[in-house]
Amino acid sequence: MQQSQPLKKTINPKPMTEGVKKQLLFRLLLVALLSLLATGLGYAVLSLPSSAPGLSELVAENLETSGVSNPVTAVLLNFRAYDTLLELGVLLLALLGVWSFGAVPERRESFPGPVLDTLSRLLVPLLILVAGYLLWVGAHAPGGAFQAGSVLGAAGVLLLLAGWRPGARFVGLPLRITLVAGLGVFVIVSAVLILVGGRLLEYPPSFAATLILLIEAAATLSIGITLAALFIGGRPEAGPNN
Amino acid sequence: METVTLLQWAFDVVLGFSLLWIAWLALTSLDLFRAIVLFIAFGLLMALAWVRLDAPDVALAEAAIGAGLTGALLLAALARLESNNATKPTPEKDHQPEAHD
Amino acid sequence: MSHVFLYALVGVGLFTLGLYALIVHPHLLRKILAINVMGSGVFLMLVALGRRTPGTLPDPVPHAMAITGIVVAISATALALALMLRVQVETGRAELPEEPLE
């Protein structure tokens, strides 16, 4: 923050009056255009009818066959499960993108301090418990794989902040298998369903609850580990010698 | 009944303006650290807005991700940005620092 | 006119605010923040307009889309931050060059 101020001045050695005038004109034009955009969007929003059922009735009608009683989980894992499937793919792709920039930068060696150390020891088991609870309760109340996965990811971030690093034994194949578990289980389930029933991700109602829980458990694990891995900001190296 | 709806309206209006105000502060603050902390506060207010819109599922996701994890990611990136700045005052290509342990 | 439209309008405001900041600020971290604010505005508008159901229960489909969107937004943010750090390593600065206006 301190450095950016003098830096900026050296970047713009142009005659100031001309530049400032153009800058001001540009800003005014921008504000005018954006006000126009905001007015248009606001008008579009206000011109919508004040009552629209949307798809809520359709969801409510089919909720019994979905295997869960929380409508949001039913939409995420059953009615529009392909959204979630692709979204797990996006998460994995983002991690691949981050990893492609190289290994973890090895310069943060700060000592966490006793408070953070104790706090992480107390909180991480609790966060894992909360993640499990959210995963289980998602079938019939607010919660589900994404919430549980992000709590798990928060636990991982806390551990990383407290100075913990994944050991060499975990970094190789086990880490990669955990990362793709969510997407993998999802793809396997949908492939099996296509072979059995002929339709993509159309669960038989008697198995729906089990299949959803299976997919959600794998997705939770993958989302949590992926978020923690994104926090590391690079590919963890396999061994201490390279 | 009247006072309850009036209170709810007041709450909605205050929350709406706080959202816009905090977003404005976060996006215009000169200090990057301050901007990120304001952005985390913005995420928490968003979680409140989700609750007001009867979307507790989204509120849970926003509280965990929007307020917690995004903030951690942004702060870690800022720390790396500044440590890069401190170790390399001149923009030079060779990044082969001292022998690594 | 109910509080639903108030939140939808706040969403419009956040989107516009984010777009302004995205265009104006040269620093990449600020641009990433601005994109996140824009995304929050879109989600707010989506969920608010999904609340226009006649009954007491909201439409769950926009909720599911918003949850998906939030997770996609954080993964995109992480990728953008990694790109930003890479830009800084390559050029020494985490800002876009200030082009002179023609």
Domains and CATH numbers, chain C: 3-91 (1.10.287.3510)
- Chain A neighbours (≥3 Cβ pairs under 8 A) are B, C
If you average pLDDT over every residue of chain C, what do you get?
A: 88
* DSSP-assigned states of every residue in B7-43: HHHHHHHHHHHHHHHHHHHHHH-SSHHHHHHHHHHHH
pLDDT score recorded for residue B92: 41
Q: What is the largest CA-CA distance in chain B?
A: 72
Does position B41 have pLDDT exceeding 90, yes or no?
Answer: yes
Q: Compute the average pLDDT of residues B36-61.
A: 93
Mutate to test the interface with A, among C59, C84, C95 (most CBs of A within 10 A): C59
Return the residue of A nearest to C8 by Cα.
A45
Q: Which one, of C85, C73, A42, A99, lies nearest residue B61 by Cα?
A: C73
B79 touches A: beta carbon within 8 Å = yes
Mutate to test the interface with A, among B65, B70, B74 (most CBs of A within 10 A): B65
Span C38-74, pLDDT tens digits: 999 999 999 999 888 887 788 889 999 999 999 999 9
* DSSP-assigned states of every residue in A71-94: HHHHIIIIITHHHHHHHHHHHHHH
- For residue A226, report the phi and psi dihedrals to the nearest 5 degrees: -65, -45
Task: Tell me the CB-side half-sphere exposure of residue C74, using CA atoms within 13 A.
Answer: 33
Does position B23 have pLDDT exceeding 50, yes or no?
Answer: yes
- Chain A contacts in chain C segment 23-62 (CB below 8 A): 23-24, 27, 45, 49-50, 52-55, 57-62
Domain boundaries, chain A: 4-46, 56-232
ipTM of the complex: 0.88
β-pair partners for A235: A103
B76 touches A: beta carbon within 8 Å = yes
Give C101 to chain B, closest Cα distance, Å: 22
B28 touches C: beta carbon within 8 Å = yes
pLDDT score recorded for residue A218: 94
Q: Do C21 and B50 touch (CB under 8 A)?
A: no
Q: Do B64 and A108 touch (CB under 8 A)?
A: no
Q: Do B28 and C21 touch (CB under 8 A)?
A: yes
Span A54-105, pLDDT tens digits: 788 888 888 888 888 888 888 888 888 888 999 999 999 999 999 998 777 6
Check if the beta carbon of residue A77 is closer than 8 Å to that of residue A68.
yes
C76 touches A: beta carbon within 8 Å = yes
Contact residues for A206 (Cβ-Cβ < 8 A; gap 6+): none
Give A77 to chain C, closest Cα distance, Å: 9
pLDDT score recorded for residue B99: 41
Beta-strand runs (E) in chain C: none
